[in-house]
Amino acid sequence: MRLQGQLPIARTAALRLALFSLLWWILTEGQSGAWPLGSLFVVLATAMSLALSRPVPWSAIGFARFVPFFLWWSLRGGVDVAWRACAPSLPIAPGMLTYRLRLPPGRARVFMTAVISLLPGTLSAEIVRNDLVIHILDQRASSEADLALLETKVAALFRIRLSARPSTHAETP
């Protein structure tokens, strides 16, 4: 039996094999002489990833909603950081922000932490119990609502029901 949103093992293995093959091709710049050794590494990487991973229930609809959200926020954040870097006064107000996580410990929480660090102007610093400490480029522009929206999108992706709204507070360095 498989949970809705999870791929059967054969499809999962085929997808990972294809992704590791693509990664090897990129790393070796498409050199055909690298494939005898590369095929061994691709098969081993696929086998290890399957052995070490547990099935994670995820939502295809949540994924479809998360991708455009992430792309938009990445673009928006990149433009903001570029503007600040080019502005003569370099308008920044760095600081630390503590965000109370509603996601349970596990993959969804780790995923959210990684996504925050991929968005320009933010860097996940640490998780202390249920608090995520984030270094931010401009604490005047950071919003609890933005973090709550991201957490909601991640929860939908991983099929997690969230509890009440978190509390956030900013700290100066």
- Asked whether the beta carbons of 108 and 155 are under 8 A apart, the reply is yes
Residues 78 and 129 both lie in one domain:
yes
Residue 126 lies in a domain: yes
Whether the pLDDT of residue 21 is over 90: the answer is yes
Q: Place 173 in a pLDDT band, splitting at 50, 70 and 90.
A: low
- Give the dihedral sign, CA 109/114/118/122: positive
Residues 16 and 83 both lie in one domain:
no
5: tokens are 């949103």
Asked which of 89-93, 101-105, 128-132, 156-160 is least confident by mean pLDDT, the reply is 89-93
Residues 122 and 166 both lie in one domain:
yes
Residues 14 and 88 both lie in one domain:
no
Residues 88 and 156 both lie in one domain:
yes
Residues 113 and 34 both lie in one domain:
no
- Asked whether the beta carbons of 103 and 162 are under 8 A apart, the reply is yes
Residues 81 and 156 both lie in one domain:
yes
Higher pLDDT, 119 or 109: 109
For residues 137 and 154, what is the distance between their CA atoms, to the nearest angstrom?
A: 23
Query: In total, how many domains does the chain have?
Result: 2
Q: Place 3 in a pLDDT band, splitting at 50, 70 and 90.
A: very low
Residue 37 lies in a domain: yes
Q: What is the mean pLDDT of the chain?
A: 85
Residue 20 lies in a domain: yes
Cβ atoms < 10 Å from Cβ of 125: 17
* Sheet (strand 122-128) strand order: 122-128, 131-136, 95-100, 168-171
Whether the pLDDT of residue 83 is over 90: the answer is no
Residues 43 and 123 both lie in one domain:
no
Query: What domain range includes position 21?
Result: 9-52
Region 86-105 average pLDDT: 88
